[in-house]
Amino acid sequence: MIPFSPPRIDEKNIEAVIEVLKSGWITTGPKTQLFEQKIKSYTGAQEVLCLNSATAGLELVLRWFGVEKGDEVIVPAYTYAATANVVIHCGATPVFVDSAPNHYNLDIEQLESLITDKTKVIIPVDVGGFPCDYDKIFEIVTSEKQVKKFKPQTPEQEKLGRVLILSDAAHSLGAWYKGKRTGILADMTVFSFHAVKNLTTAEGGAICINLPSSFDPSEVYKHLRLLSLHGQSKDALAKLTGNWEYDILLPGYKYNMTDIQATIGLVELERYDSDMLPRRKQIFSLYDLFLQQNSSIKTPLYKDEFRETSYHLYQIQIPGITEEKRNEYIKKIMDKGVSVNVHFKPLPMMSFYKTQGYQIQHYPNAYRLYTQEISLPVYYTLTDEQVSMVSKTLNQVIP
């Protein structure tokens, strides 16, 4: 069986983990601090906070911005549950936006009509690693009309004076948009280092801060860090080297990254541009080559005049087919020994969201893109022969 997306584990990251285990310091400490610095220089962000997941990062940003009951947060219908669940955790209401007609990413044309005086945040998702058009999103939220509509209720909201753009970049570390990397395309950006993501620490995530000059990024970093560790005035390392006594400044959460995770991340980030991204790019090109002869398959858009993907998901479309037909194809492909996947079943189709009154009929593009989608295996150790085999299987199954 060709797996879908196994993590790349080799001697280098195994050695690094052993070193941390033997060092006597396994929780948040020097490796996590170093990993934050490295992500900061990689992305150009003002500050970076590492956490135990992207979900934690999304939630912390919403908490920091004061999102609560009565507020609305605009999220794409076409995403993983994390993007919307965190809005529910805060007691606020997710307002779904449909995908663009020809791409999984949210339809920017529909944003204007969805923003109300309750909207506090928009969470664009870079689906598959392809960045959203952030300039266009900012153009809307900074327009005089939308700024007037914004009703600040916390000091942070007052300071920003408009809807916050929080990028869910769980897929898009290393992607490009107009000469900039993800991490500095939105006010706040959250990466995921979950086991299936391009860069993994087993589980993990990071918040990149890129706020306007009305904010002090180091203050925001300190506050988010406090929120991530029970509001405790000193972390374990600071207690060890100083006075034992600490205070609880606010009722925070427990979202910190461990040094075991960070050390894997350090190994992976070091070789991300030189090794991981080029190999994924090659795999994309090979799929393009092998599948373009099949007129039933539409290969994905992952590069245009101002954007380039992080090569996270190779998402094909089979135009005109039903959900049942797609699932039938997937079964046949799996039976031939190839693991494929679907990204994503839109959230308005999920039981919980249905009970909240959301209906998929209101998101026709997301529904169509979902019913016709199959994601193919992409991972570092996938060989050219395996890419060829996967393609052959697809060309056999999908006439």
Ligand X SMILES: *Cc1c(COP(=O)(O)O)cnc(C)c1O
- Give 157 or 256: the residue with its C-beta nearer to ligand X: 256
For the CB of residue 343, give the shortest distance to ligand X in the complex, in Å. Answer: 8
- Give 204 or 252: the residue with its C-beta nearer to ligand X: 204
For the CB of residue 344, give the shortest distance to ligand X in the complex, in Å. Answer: 8
For the CB of residue 76, give the shortest distance to ligand X in the complex, in Å. Answer: 9
- Give 25 or 130: the residue with its C-beta nearer to ligand X: 130
- Give 83 or 182: the residue with its C-beta nearer to ligand X: 83
- Give 20 or 347: the residue with its C-beta nearer to ligand X: 347
For the CB of residue 264, give the shortest distance to ligand X in the complex, in Å. Answer: 14
Report the b/e string of 177-197 with b at 16+ CB within 10 A: beeebbbbbbbbbbbbbbebb
Cβ atoms of residues 115 and 149 within 8 Å: yes
- Give 25 or 255: the residue with its C-beta nearer to ligand X: 255
For the CB of residue 126, give the shortest distance to ligand X in the complex, in Å. Answer: 8
- Give 199 or 297: the residue with its C-beta nearer to ligand X: 199
- HEC letters along the chain: CECCCCCCCCHHHHHHHHHHHHHCCCCCCHHHHHHHHHHHHHHCCCEEEEECCHHHHHHHHHHHHCCCCCCEEEEECCCCCHHHHHHHHCCCEEEEECEECCEEEECHHHHHHHCCCCEEEECCECHHHCCCCHHHHHHHHCCHHHHHHCCCCCHHHHHHCCCEEEEECCCCCCCEECCEECCCCCCEEEEECCCCCCCCCCCCEEEEECCCCCCCHHHHHHHHHHHHECCECCCHHHHHHCCCCCCECCCCCECECCHHHHHHHHHHHHCHHHHHHHHHHHHHHHHHHHHCCCCCCECCCCECCCEECCCCCEEEECCCCCHHHHHHHHHHHHHCCECCECCCCCHHHCHHHHHCCCCHHHCHHHHHHHHCEEEECCCCCCCHHHHHHHHHHHHHHCC
For ligand X, the binding residues (CB under 6 A) are: 53-55, 79-80, 82-83, 125, 168, 170-171, 192, 194, 205
For the CB of residue 90, give the shortest distance to ligand X in the complex, in Å. Answer: 16
- Give 73 or 82: the residue with its C-beta nearer to ligand X: 82
For the CB of residue 265, give the shortest distance to ligand X in the complex, in Å. Answer: 12
For the CB of residue 325, give the shortest distance to ligand X in the complex, in Å. Answer: 25
List, edge to edge, every strand of the sheet that includes 180-181. Answer: 180-181, 176-177, 307-308
Cβ atoms of residues 333 and 391 within 8 Å: no
For the CB of residue 198, give the shortest distance to ligand X in the complex, in Å. Answer: 11
- Give 157 or 201: the residue with its C-beta nearer to ligand X: 201
For the CB of residue 140, give the shortest distance to ligand X in the complex, in Å. Answer: 22
Tokens (6 digits) for 109:
């044309």
- Give 82 or 374: the residue with its C-beta nearer to ligand X: 82
